[in-house]
Amino acid sequence: MKFGYFDDANREYVITQPDTPLPWINYLGCQAYFGIISNTAGGYSFYRDARLRRVSRYRYNNVPYDLGGRYIYLRDDDSGEFWSPSWQPTRPDLEDYTCRHGLGYTIIGSRYSGIEAHSTYFVPLDEDLEIWRLAVTNRRSQPASLSVYSSIEFCLWDANDDATNFQRNFSIGEVEIEDGAIYHKTEYRERRNHFAYFACSRKTEGFDTQREAFVGPYRGWEKPLAVERGKLSNSVAHGWAPIGAHHVELQLGPEETQEVIFLLGYHENPQEQKFDPPASQTVNKKTVKPVIAKYLNFADVDAAFEKLRQYWDGLLAVCQVETPDVHTNRMVNIWNAYQCMATFNMSRSASFYESGIGRGLGFRDSNQDLLGFVQMVPARARERILDLAATQLPNGGAYHQYQPLTKRGNNDVGGNFNDDPHWLIVGVAAYLKETGDWSILDEPVPYDNAPGSEQPLYEHLQRSFQYTLDRLGPHGLPLIGRADWNDCLNLNCFSDTPGQSFQTTTNKDGKVAESVFIAALFVLAGRELAEIARRRGRTDEAQRYLAEVARMEDTVREQGWDGEWFLRAYDDFGRKVGSKECAEGKIFIETQGFCVLAGIGLDDGRAQAAMESVAKHLATGHGIILQQPAYSRYYLELGEISSYPPGYKENAGIFCHNNPWVMIAETQVGNGDRAYDYYARINPSAREPISELHRCEPYVYAQMIAGRDAPTHGEAKNSWLTGTAAWNYYAVTQWILGIRPTFEGLEIRPVVPKGWRGFKATRLFRGVTYIIAVTREGEGNQVALKVDGEPWEGTVVPAPVEGQRAVTVEVTLK
């Protein structure tokens, strides 16, 4: 069953039923001001940091869910009837409903009692504000007297405090109202120099800024007293819960349309110019007023919307493909790329599943997100790399997370996740391959943000590598620390205390438990680092790195192989994890995918054997599960992984993030059919027909699909913010379709299904457009290239002569 359809020409997903299985959300904003918005206008906004600069309120885990949003009410002033054109929060029986989630905007349209309403929500580029543009049309044969009410509930900035510190919060709320615009200025009197505003393009009949005055005592957003009565009370919030609400009247003749703009924004004043007049407590509005005036103007709003469209046209044009599979095309050309932008911006902080208060930007997460983002806006990837590296610790380790507003490492979580440092090498290598900008390696970057500690970025990479060499365990494998990629395999935790954090509790000294996964990551990162060193003329260093890599590969072969698959780890007792000797958790996906992806076992049959074991033990119709058999009870020595009921999350869920590792591994062993098959199984668009089972949005990946041990096998959770986005994009574009940036140039080496006759692609790479046509002649993966009509040796297409902007590449597969 479906709840909508893809409109590929407009790059939209169109939802045709408001009561989707879960809120199906979209993101507004892609630079500094962001919001999440559901298909019924739920969601919230923030400036840069979802925890520290929350602009509007949202209630997670509410009943009904998805409450708190950008709500507009319409009221028929003749009958007194009122409703929400976005369905929530009044949930009327709409005659017609569509929600178009597009790239950076959402349009919700509906019809009720002969009145049509369309609200377009978006954030203009380079601005810290959002526009709600409402168009109301009277489809009745009689004139209609209508009232429009806007509403937003302000958050008192720190979303965590806002939801917990009521003894203070109920007394600090402050607003100003001027020319119909509402200014939310809580804490502006003291240490803040920023405020929010909510303005309207029309003459208003009234306003409210105190929540209870608007909704009425013991009422909710579904039945606000002021709307029922048809009159706002011009309430001024002193403490309690500041909101913004406007009242606008519309007289509409038959078939007449009128429009209203509401503007919600964030603004900062220089510290010394906060007040106007300076000795007063009144917000200085000199610099914000022109911004407000501009975006209350329809022509400017049109232009901003058009600019946003062009921006996305440009970003997506970097890689467009035309394959025999509509789901591949749609995901690569539109939605997967779009999701990569969201994960790059948010890391794992703000979604319907991530409350925005728990986690800042993850070190390993953000580095991996670069794999799917770097081709879109390389300059922002560069900035992110330098920010991440600046939180690295002098010993080469890393803070697990950092707060985007302060860009400081997060002390609450700390470090000692021993995989973290290597992801920096992986991220930097991806950046270098895409851009060829080697200057980044010379950028001076501090450690732990300490002034004076700056060293070239290259040295940070060296310390990342050394970090593991300084932490080898009894079998010569890397010590795992708090966890490796799998946050829930906590081999040094041994927690028996309810509620204790599995990630930050360490009850063992950590000198025994080892990770085969980190060994594979070390091999991958070490090869990249060696190549970087070689290209910088540091041949001795390169050789040393390669020697360490070779040694680690041997160790994996000797200590990390279980006979038919790669082991996962050794626990604190030196016992195997992920072995046929184990009662449960005999085989894990991570090391099968990642060892092969890193090149381990390709020449001795282990890679093929590992892939067969994955197919036999882990692959299901809904994707590849993380391990088998699922842990049926809690294992003190394994940690959080065994805390989840079987089939969920890391305990044998289909953790979509690591499925692409197996896809890439399958391309490495030359199995295009299987690589693509695994790709198709978790492709959200391909799963659209089973939306009632899948439940999450069909246009973006979810972190997890319940595994076969779960009663809800096939049900997705935690959509949007997941490494799945970048890794799938990377797997399908660079390994299956095989269009792969390398240090040397653009490599083209597809490993696609035997049944594909070919495909076409255009790829903008280092300023040159590569127009690629692949034709299958045989059934294998042998590649022959012609570049601009001339036969070409090898698979890497060189940069053309200066000034040439396009290159055609004909690829024959035999």
Smallest distance, Å, CB 98 to ligand GLC? 33
Radius of gyration of the chain (CA): 28
Using the rule CB under 6 A, which residue among 54, 246, 247, 364 binds ligand GLC?
A: 364
Q: What angle do CA 465, 470, 471 make, to 5 degrees?
A: 100
Q: Which residues contact 495 (CB under 8 A, 6 or more apart)?
A: 502, 505, 507, 636, 639
Interhelix angle for 336-346 vs 378-390, to 10°? Answer: 30
Q: Which of residues 447-486 bind ligand GLC (CB under 6 A)?
A: 485-486
Please identify, using beta-carbon distances, which residue of 246 and 649 lies nearer to ligand GLC: 649
Find how far residue 84's CA is from the centre of its chain: 30
- Residue bearing tokens 């299901």: 620
Query: Closest separation between CB of residue 406 and ligand GLC, Å?
Result: 19
Q: What is d(CA 521, CA 691) in angstroms, rounded to the nearest whole number?
A: 35
Distances (CA, A) of 672 to 606, 657, 703, 741: 18, 20, 24, 20
**CB closer to ligand GLC out of 362 and 473:** 362
Count residues near ligand GLC (CB under 6 A). 17
CB of 241 to ligand GLC, least distance (A): 30
Q: Where are the beta strands (DSSP E) in 476-529?
A: 514-515
Query: Closest CB to ligand GLC among 49 and 640?
Result: 640
Q: Is 716 near ligand GLC (CB under 6 A)?
A: no
User: In terms of Cα–Cα distance, which of 320, 387, 373 is closest to 345?
Assistant: 373
The smaller minimum CB distance to ligand GLC, of residues 147 and 703, is found at: 703
Tell me how far, at minimum, the Cβ of 717 lies from ligand GLC, in Å: 11
Q: CB 368 → ligand GLC: shortest distance, Å? A: 8
Could you give the string, one character per residue 310-349, with x where binding to ligand GLC holds by CB under 6 A and - elsewhere?
Answer: --------------------------------------x-
* Contact assessment for residue 592 and residue 566, using Cβ atoms and an 8 Å cutoff: yes
Catalytic residue among 419, 487, 572, 709: 487
HSE, side-chain direction, 13 A CA sphere, residue 416 = 19
Q: Which of 120, 418, 703, 795 binds ligand GLC (CB under 6 A)?
A: 703
Token readout for 397 is 């380790």
Q: How many CA atoms lie within 13 A of 603 on its CB side?
A: 4
| In the complex, minimum distance from the CB of residue 734 to ligand GLC, in angstroms, rounded to a whole number | 20
Packing angle of the helix pair 363-373, 378-390 (nearest 10 deg)? 160
Verify binding: residue 362, ligand GLC, rule CB under 6 A.
yes
313 Cβ contact partners less than 8 Å away, ≥ 6 residues apart: none
Amino acid, res. 390:
A
Backbone dihedral angles phi then psi of residue 649, each to the nearest 5 degrees: 50, -140
Q: Candidates 183-191, 358-366, 461-469, 745-753: pick the segment binding ligand GLC (CB under 6 A).
A: 358-366
Structure tokens at 570: 């050794």
Crossing angle of the two packed helices 420-435 and 378-390, in degrees rounded to 10? 150
CB of 364 to ligand GLC, least distance (A): 5
Please indicate whether residue 369 is annotated as part of the active site.
no
Interaction pattern, residues 723-762, with ligand GLC; x per rule: CB under 6 A: x---------------------------------------
**CA distance linking residue 407 with residue 83, whole number of Å:** 43
Q: Select the residue whose beta carbon is closest to ligand GLC and give its number.
A: 487
**Which residues 6+ apart lie within 8 Å of 801 measured at CB?**
none
| Residue placing its CB nearer to ligand GLC in the complex, 657 or 674 | 657
Q: H-helix or E-strand containing 373?
A: helix 363-373
The 480-519 contact track toward ligand GLC, x by CB under 6 A, reads -----xxxx--------------x----------------
Please pick, from the candidates 66, 365, 571, 572, the single residue that binds ligand GLC as defined by CB under 6 A: 365
Query: What is the x/- site pattern for ligand GLC, positions 621-660, by CB under 6 A?
Result: -------------------x--------xx------x---
- Residues carrying an active site annotation: 487
Q: Which residues bind ligand GLC (CB under 6 A)?
A: 348, 359, 362, 364-365, 485-488, 503, 640, 649-650, 657, 703, 722-723
